[in-house]
Amino acid sequence: MKYLVTGASGQLGSEWLRYFRENQIPFTGYNSAQFDITDKYSAEQIIDEDKPDVVINCAAYTKVDQAESEPDKAFLVNETGVKNLAEACSKRGINLIHYSTDYVFSGAKKDRERYPDGYPEDAPSDPINIYGKSKRAGEIVLENSSANWLLIRVSWLCGASGSNFVKTMLMLSEARDRIDVVSDQTGSPSFTFDVVEKTIQLMQKELTGIFHVSSRGEISWADFAREIFELSGKTTDVQNISSSEFPVAAKRPSFSLLSNQKIISAGLKPADRREALKRLLQQIKLS
């Protein structure tokens, strides 16, 4: 099997490249400048040259707040780009793996009451910001395509490469004794190494469709920050604040927990959040 990875310089793309190198698996990886998924003809040319068995799409527009002021860019990458890949893969009989987000859900109070263990894969989507809407548009393109696809939703993604909440908290702790963190938004982090491992397991089982991959249990951003500091030996104090005290351009879901029941039913074991966080902190320390 040969793999082609788009968005290879991002958090998840970098994790895939690390996995392939460590396991000596044939692959080609392209950052967004090298492989522009919004350019249909260029995408087809690269795929024809590489002849992969599987395309792993890690390319995405992920600037949640900036998307509010440039929706065309968000939809171009997250919808049109996915359409281009789906059509190219469908024509050539290539399997396509794509990643989406918890932000396709609204996080409404009624949803928390209806799905106390997290949103299942078939829950109605109702994104409340442009980023979420653009990612849902990409999902719909994939669902309506004739490609052989596997779509994995992740939440609060964090890994050793790129920018994420864990690395931001560690950086801020070097300069501050106290950090204000929102406590009224809850979910569960997805760790890049676990997402890659789960994706491989789902592929080995030849499963298709939509799956959620996140760690076990529900936690707030503020409590997650406390775990980060506890496990990294930091003494930084975390002060709870509400979302209204931390204004941002894009509204965030107050509840974005993803259910792990479907991967459990498929025979996969969800990551333990604290153990996964320990592993990530060690990776960051060594990087």
Catalytic residues: 131
DSSP states of 222-248 = HHHHHHHHHHTT---EEEEE-GGGS--
Q: With contact defined as beta carbons under 8 Å apart, do 130 and 250 qualify?
A: yes
Helices (H), the chain: 11-22, 40-50, 71-75, 81-92, 109-114, 130-143, 165-173, 192-204, 221-231, 261-265, 273-286
For 59, list phi and psi in degrees, rounded to 5: -75, 135
Place of tokens 């793309």: 13
For 240, list phi and psi in degrees, rounded to 5: -70, 135
Cα 108 → chain centroid: 21
Q: With contact defined as beta carbons under 8 Å apart, do 6 and 56 qualify?
A: yes
Nearest CA-CA partner of 172 in 119, 102, 98, 225: 225
Q: With contact defined as beta carbons under 8 Å apart, do 158 and 221 qualify?
A: no
**Whole-angstrom distance, CA of residue 245 vs CA of residue 256:** 20
Q: With contact defined as beta carbons under 8 Å apart, do 232 and 82 qualify?
A: no
CB atoms under 10 Å from CB of 200, counted, come to 14
